[in-house]
Amino acid sequence: MANISINKLDEQLFEVAIQTPSPTTHRVTVATDYADRLTQGRFSTEELVSRSFDFLLAREPNTSILRSFDLAVISRYFPEYERVISS
């Protein structure tokens, strides 16, 4: 399992470092309304980012994850994302 560290740069911007034999760093934006819709107040936006990376890493290697993206883009590649993350 990869070691994931998340650095909150501001309310909507996070830097995610994934430590594996091929480490990667990602910059992720999360719109407040999108985070609110997915978390429904049950967990923080930082936790949403963490869960989202767990979701991605269960489906692809860290080297395949975009280096910079908006969290909403995940559902374009994985239609089940929002349902899985919200449950």
Report the side by side order of strands in the sheet with 68-70. 3-10, 13-19, 24-29, 68-70
Type and span of the H or E element at 25: strand 24-29
Give CA–CA dist 26/67, Å, rounded: 4
pLDDT confidence of residue 87? 83
Ranges of residues in the chain whose predicted pLDDT is under 70: 1
Give CA–CA dist 38/34, Å, rounded: 6
pLDDT confidence of residue 51? 96
How many helices (H) and strands (E) in the chain? Answer: 4, 4
pTM: 0.94
pLDDT confidence of residue 2? 77
pLDDT confidence of residue 1? 61
Q: What is the pLDDT of residues 30-44, one digit of tens each?
A: 999 999 999 999 999
pLDDT confidence of residue 86? 87
